């Protein structure tokens, strides 16, 4: 055990000496031994190739995977949640207005917009469930929300069936609204009193913590959780930054080593250029394009993070119902649809289309280049040894 620190120092000194000899080799005018030089390069160049491509490939693959997750899971889930909340609040106002008509609702029923919006809310919640963005616990919460939406519709139907009895009608509407919003600013005492608020819709403040039991509160909680995970996926994590730093360092040393090796072979072996090493270094030409693609992806992810915040902060039922809706029609395109379009556009523009599918091939290409480099240098070293032995024998 007493020799362990001394052994570690010797190993570290040997590594530093080899690294210094790799980065600053003896001048070509001197007489470094060809066999030793090629042996060092035969080990260093393939090793640097593997390290550089493994780190770069992992970091690049993570960015591409994050963009795919934002595009296919998180953004559609957030859009569907915002859509469901706005549809339910629009439906609630339509239910209040229809019930306020009294006996007329027995003949004509609730408005078409109420039926359209409740159906649309159910479809949006199903889209969230299929998005794959929720955890197991959140999926259970979504099932609770779907059940509460069904119960909300049952109580509205109860109020409709008892529209002739003001007390039962108002009790059904009031209880339905308490399921939708946990703490409404006003509790109507009659269906006629269920007048729109200043913006035309009954207020529905979001409640958090243990009091978040209503539908809108639970949807808001899911939105907050998804926005947090989306921001985490969109940010450059410590692992990606460390891998990028190692890739840049190893890549820089690799480029310098390949160039010095070509110069060495030109002077000592009288080769104009080493074709095998050029072929092995050819994939390095793709690195600037892959890097540009990664930068575009990161910028697009940051923009999508802003869009996710706007989906929760700027949407309102007043804006989403400012046009004549068709059955099963989409909401007003000025906000939810517009923000969803912006997110899709940003993620689509945040990449170089020609490089789609390139991420899984970075590491295999690096391994192939490492094998080609090692084989080429092994061939040069073996040829030099044979020539040297033949000269010594002569």
Give the whole-angstrom CA distance, residue 337 versus residue 141. Answer: 25
Tokens encoding 180:
């939708």
- pLDDT tens string 187-226: 444 344 444 555 567 778 777 766 678 999 999 999 999 9
**CB-side neighbour CA atoms (13 Å) of 352:** 15
Find out whether 96 and 173 touch, Cβ atoms under 8 Å: yes
pLDDT at 25: 56
CB 41 within 8 A of CB 21: no
Q: How long a stretch of residues is the chain?
A: 394
- Alpha-carbon distance values, 312 to 50, 68, 175, 181, 335 (Å): 45, 22, 26, 16, 11
Host H or E run for residue 239:
helix 238-268
Collapsing DSSP states into helix, strand and coil, what is residue 77?
helix
Residue 56's Cβ-count burial label (10 Å; 0-12, 13-18, 19+) is: buried
What mean pLDDT is predicted for residues 310-335?
Answer: 66
Encode pLDDT of 114-135 as tens digits: 989 999 999 999 999 999 999 9
**Residue position matching structure tokens 């339910």:** 88
Reduce the DSSP state of residue 325 to 3 states and report it.
coil
| pLDDT exceeds 90 at position 27 | no
Question: What is the 3 state secondary structure string of 318-356?
Answer: HHHCCCCCCCCCCCCCCCHHHHHHHHHHHHHHCCCHHHC
What pLDDT shows up at residue 189?
41
The pLDDT value given to residue 380: 81
pLDDT the model gives residue 34: 67
Cβ-based neighbours of 40, under 8 Å, separated by 6 or more: 18, 21, 22
Judge whether residue 393 has pLDDT over 50: no
Instruction: Tell whether the model's pLDDT for residue 28 goes beyond 50.
Output: no
Most confident of 41-45, 183-187, 199-203: 41-45
> Would you state the pLDDT for residue 390?
45
> Which range among 88-97, 169-178, 238-247, 372-381 has the greatest average pLDDT?
238-247
Instruction: Report the mean per-residue pLDDT for the chain.
Output: 82
Alpha carbon separation from 176 to 45, 97, 224 (Å, rounded): 71, 14, 24
Q: What is the DSSP letter of 73?
A: I
Cα 102-320-187 angle, rounded to 5 deg: 45
């Amino acid at each position: 055990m007493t020799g362990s620190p001394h052994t570690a120092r010797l190993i570290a000194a040997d590594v530093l000496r080899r690294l210094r000899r790799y980065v600053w080799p003896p001048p070509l005018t001197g007489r470094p031994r060809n066999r030793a030089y090629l042996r060092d390069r035969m080990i260093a160049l393939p090793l640097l190739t593997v390290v550089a491509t493994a780190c770069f490939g992992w970091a690049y693959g993570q960015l591409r995977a994050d963009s795919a997750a934002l595009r296919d899971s998180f953004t559609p889930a957030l859009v569907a949640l915002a859509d469901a909340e706005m549809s339910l609040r629009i439906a609630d106002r339509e239910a209040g207005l229809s019930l306020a008509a009294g006996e007329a609702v027995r003949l004509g029923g609730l408005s078409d917009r109420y039926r359209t919006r409740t159906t649309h809310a159910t479809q949006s919640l199903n889209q969230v469930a299929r998005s794959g963005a929720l955890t197991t616990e959140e999926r259970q919460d979504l099932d609770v929300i779907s059940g509460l939406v069904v119960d909300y519709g049952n109580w509205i139907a109860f109020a409709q069936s008892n529209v002739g009895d003001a007390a039962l009608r108002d009790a059904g509407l009031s209880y339905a609204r308490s399921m939708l919003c946990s703490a409404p600013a006003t509790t109507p005492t009659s269906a006629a009193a269920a007048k729109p608020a200043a913006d035309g819709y009954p207020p529905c403040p979001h409640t958090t913590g243990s009091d978040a039991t209503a539908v809108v509160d639970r949807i808001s909680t899911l939105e907050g959780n998804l926005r947090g995970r989306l921001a985490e996926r969109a940010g450059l994590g410590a692992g990606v930054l460390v891998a990028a730093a190692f890739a840049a360092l190893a890549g820089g040393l690799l480029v310098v080593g390949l160039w010095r090796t070509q110069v060495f072979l030109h002077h000592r072996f009288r080769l104009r250029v080493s074709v095998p090493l050029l072929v092995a270094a050819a994939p390095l030409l793709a690195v600037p394009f892959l890097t540009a693609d990664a930068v575009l992806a990161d910028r697009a992810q940051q923009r999508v993070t802003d869009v996710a915040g706007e989906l929760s902060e700027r949407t309102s039922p007043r804006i989403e119902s400012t046009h004549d809706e068709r059955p099963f029609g989409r909401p007003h395109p000025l906000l939810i649809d517009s923000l969803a379009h912006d997110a899709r556009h940003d993620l689509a523009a945040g990449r170089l289309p020609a490089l789609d599918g390139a991420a899984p091939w970075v590491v295999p290409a690096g391994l192939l280049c490492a094998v080609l480099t090692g084989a080429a240098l092994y061939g040069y070293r073996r040829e030099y040894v044979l020539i040297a032995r033949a000269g010594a024998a002569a």
